[in-house]
Structure 1
Amino acid sequence: MNGNGNGHRSAGGNGHRPAKLRGYSAWSLVQHGLTRGDWPRTWHDHDLRDSYDVVIIGGGVHGLATAYYLARDHGITNVAVLEKAYIGSGGSGRNTAILRSNYLTPEGVRFYDRSVKLYENLAADLNFNVMFSQRGHLTLAHNDASLRTMRWRSEVNKHEGVDSDVIGPDEVKGLVPYLDTSPDTRYPILGALYHPPGGIVRHDAVVWGYARGADAHGVHIHQQTEVTGIDVSHGRVSGVQTTRGRIATRAVVNCTAGWATLISDMAGVSMPVQTFPLQAAVTEPVKPFLDTVVVSGTLHVYVSQTDRGELVFGASVDPFASYSIRGSLEFTEGVAGHVLELMPALAKMRLLRQWAGLCDMTPDYSPIMGPTPVEGFYVDVGWGTYGFKAGPVSGEAMAATVAHGRPPEIIAAFGLDRFADGRLVGEKGAAAVGH
């Protein structure tokens, strides 16, 4: 399924900018809308080659971003992105698209801050409106222990140059007047970690933008192409088996989120990852009133409002490992009750739909990135609930890893070998909601 874009593809590059994509005038847009004229393809269908320099498994934001930066920054354009369904059909299309960098560990803060900075310029970089709205991010504290954690995170953030501070109930009320900040509630709001650079983005626009950018640089995007095996000979990757035939390659990047362990097992690489469903829901649209993202770890809920007026709700991962992406009544009842604890005025709003995605959880709640014991097999997995916000920096870092054969400093702490060496990067305290 190819998306519709707003520019023509042309050959050639422009330094570190994507290949030039000619835009439409306002009048030509009206003409296209009235006449239903044929729009140019945002990305293109290609025959599957017998070999590629790099094969990326997973057509979500991580896989597409890796392909884009491989081509743009390193000139490696003989790249295939393989997606068993359609691009963005996995975790990239089943998330709440919240962006932030107010994490707990110095390694995590530096990493996610780089991603936020890339997001800030992504629309201009890709010449595609990704609808990034930096509206601020509030993590509420309902007890003394939570407040201490917020102060701890705030100090780590400030030390790494990230805008983040603890504010009191009055300031919280000023930012979100509809929050119940009275002291008589069941879960009183004692304060919050306020992170102004945080916000939301249009997740499908990010996927389409990276797909168009990668395609413009010559990358082949193959949808409806499922990987069935990975060939390993004498300790290194030699090819990939797919439902459309075999591809010879000496570099494979696993960017498959919830299916990470199944793909890694094909290469003989064991991953300390479990897959859990993560559910979300959206309401009917109403007049915009919620300017910031609001998170409560105690109540296991977070809420933001889209530009169209819907409220998007999320919660913690389901308490059991599964590959199910069906919603549950238990989630709906729980998230509705918790939201009403925070904002009772929403009682009459109606939920329109709910969905679930798959989260690949590691023991320390940090990703696994970089090379593996199988030469030429790289992983970008273990994202849990953090994956979408890390798309740009992950693509940039994994592209550098493949191009140079070693991970850059920004992801050095996230290697697979840390579990054997006991060098964990514990980010559970910075989870948006409890896990």
Structure 2
Amino acid sequence: MPWRLARFALSKAYPEPRMFTRHEALRKTYDAVIVGGGGHGLAAAYYLAHDHGMRNICVLEKGYIGGGNTARNTTIIRSNYITVEGVRFYDAAIRLWRDLSQELRLNLFYATRGHFTLAHSDAALRTMRQRAEINKHCQVDSEVVGPDEIQRAIPGIDLSCDGHAPIVGALYHAPGAIARHDAVAWGYGRAADRLGVEIHQQTEVLGIETAHGEVTGVRTSRGSIATGKVLCAVAGSTPRVLNMVGIASPIVVHPLQAMVTEPMKPWLDPIVVSSGLHVYVSQSARGELVLGAALDPYELHQTRSTLEFAEGLASRMLDLFPFLSEVGVVRQWAGMADMTPDFAPIMGKTPIRGFYLDGGWGTWGFKATPICGKTMAHTLAHDHPHPLITGFGLDRFRDYALTGERGAAAIGH
């Protein structure tokens, strides 16, 4: 250990402050209550305090900060979607991501890597061209590239995929990036805490009180709270919370599994996604390969992982990178993906006045964390949807005005 680091650690003059203030009791009343202490909930709390001056806010988390889907994703950040609404929304997220470490004063390990979405057929390549044109229309950097360019950027890839699904091209998205998921939750949580927001871990929401069609309070495992505004940001637990206020939604929950290998020397700079093989991979700052695949095909409110997933994903990865056959898998995990029929989120107001929803994120919630927090904070503060989320309202399912992102979110990434 360097002497200057040891001197800092042993000195009583420079005690390291806690990341979050510990609050022994809930207040009786809050101006806003955020249910869910993941990235989205903490980001919304931070922007409510920072952008709108609301300080009498609490975040309720039944477990620990960032322990839900924030801790169970694969940290890919991109904006190469297929609808104008999606592209503009996620591009706004990337613009926030770039300066977020400085704003939160915490290293989030944000790294721009470039993002390849591989095409294994002429039909898939046509979809890539369509996405590239929509991206360019929105001033987002995406282009279709051929096998030679893919091989130069990723020397170890087998373009033939062992003869199973030869690669015929790819959509290359230069702004594609990764970040450290737990640092994002801690950074937003610490920043919100320093602005006066109360964060209550190990506090489960048992019910949401309403009267005459509007929110009046929240019942928790540590007592009741009076409030006129509640934001639900609980990912895979969204249907359960919506049941508390009698709101029906089209959300279904599927497990989304992932796994990570032992560390290796850096060799994979870009993020690689194959919608044909249903796999994606990136290499972390510590050298591990972070691997994921499609949703499990069954609806299940659990976070168990399976041997079948690990075997199937390993087999498809070896089609792309056969030299990885001796690399060991260190661990695997699963999250609960709250999916909507059109593969786009549900954001904004609901039929219950004062009850706001941030859900239906499925497999793409992490990348939206900053802009989701910012737009939902605006929506709560003004009781009116932010312009960027008007295409994501719950009422689109009633009006048959869907925002179809399935073509750009065909696998879990």
Shorter-chain TM-score bucket reads over 0.9
Residue of structure 1 equivalent to 2:405: 427
Q: Is the 8 A contact 1:66 1:396 kept in 2?
A: yes
Cα offset for 1:33? Answer: 4.1
Tell me which residue corresponds to 2:82: 104
2:41 matches 1:63: yes
Q: Which of the numbers 206, 211, 216 marks the counterpart of 1:233?
A: 211
Q: 1:397 to 1:434 in 2, by over 3 A?
A: closer
- 2:249 is matched with 271
Aligned ranges 1:23-38 → 2 under 5 Å? 29-33=5-9, 38=15
Q: Distance in 1 between matches of 2:398 and 2:112?
A: 39
Summarize deviations over 1:160-203 as a string: whole Å, max 9, x none.
00000000000001110011124872211100000010011000
**CA shift for structure 1 position 265:** 1.0
> RMSD of the TM alignment (CA)?
1.5
1:86 is aligned to 64
Matched, 1:310 2:310: no
Match of 1:137 in 2: 115
Residue 181 (structure 2) aligns with: 203
Matched residues in 2 for 1:232 and 1:312: separation?
43
Q: Which amino acid in 1 is paired with 2:68?
A: G
Which residue is equivalent to 1:16? none
Give the C-alpha shift of residue 267 in structure 1: 1.2
What runs of 5+ residues in structure 1 fail to find an aligned partner? Answer: 1-25
User: Which letter does structure 1 place at the counterpart of 2:298?
Assistant: F
Q: How does 1:1-400 map to 2 (within 5 A)?
A: 29-33=5-9, 38-46=15-23, 47-182=25-160, 185-400=163-378
Q: Alignment partner of 1:156: what SS?
A: helix
Alignment size in residue pairs: 410
Contact 1:296–1:432 (Cα < 8 Å) also in 2 = no
Change (3 A) 1:162 1:278: same
After superposition, the Cα gap between the structure-2 partners of 1:282 and 1:75, relative to the gap in structure 1 and judged at 3 Å, is same
Deviations 1:336-355 (A, max 9, x none): 00000111111110101100
Inter-partner Cα distance in structure 1 for 2:379 and 2:88? 18
Q: C-alpha distance in 2, partners of 1:308/1:40?
A: 26
Q: Residue 8 of structure 1 corresponds to which residue in structure 2?
A: none
| Conservation of the 8 A alpha-carbon contact between 2:364 and 2:412 | no
Counterpart code for 1:352: V
- Single out whichever of 261-270 and 395-404 deviates more from structure 2: 261-270
Secondary structure, in 3 states, of the residue corresponding to 2:151? helix
Alignment partners' CA distance in 1, 2:393 and 2:5: 47
Work out whether residues 87 and 223 of structure 1, in 8 Å CA contact, stay in contact via their aligned partners in 2: yes
Is contact 1:297-1:434 (8 Å) kept?
A: no
Q: CA deviation at 1:27?
A: 7.2
Q: 1:38 offset after TM fit, Å?
A: 4.8
Which digits, 9 at most, give the CA deviation of each residue in 1:201-240, with x for residues without a partner? 0000000000011001000000000000000001100000
Tell me, in whole angstroms, the C-alpha distance in 1 between the residues paired with 2:357 and 2:211.
18
Equivalent in 386, 396, 418 of residue 396 of structure 2: 418
CA distance in 2 between counterparts of 1:383 and 1:115 reads 14
Unaligned runs of 5+ in 2: none
Shift >6 Å, 4+ stretches = none
The aligned counterpart of 1:404 is 382
In 2, are the aligned partners of 1:88 and 1:207 still within 8 Å (CA)?
A: yes
Q: Is the 8 A contact 1:64 1:81 kept in 2?
A: yes
SS at match of 1:347: helix
Measured in 2, the distance between the counterparts of 1:189 and 1:175 equals: 14
**Aligned amino acid, residue 127 of structure 1:** R
Q: 1:333 to 1:34 in 2, by over 3 A?
A: farther
Query: How much identity, in percent, do the aligned residues show?
Result: 56
Contact 1:367 1:381 in 2 (8 A): yes
State the one-letter code of the partner of 2:140: V
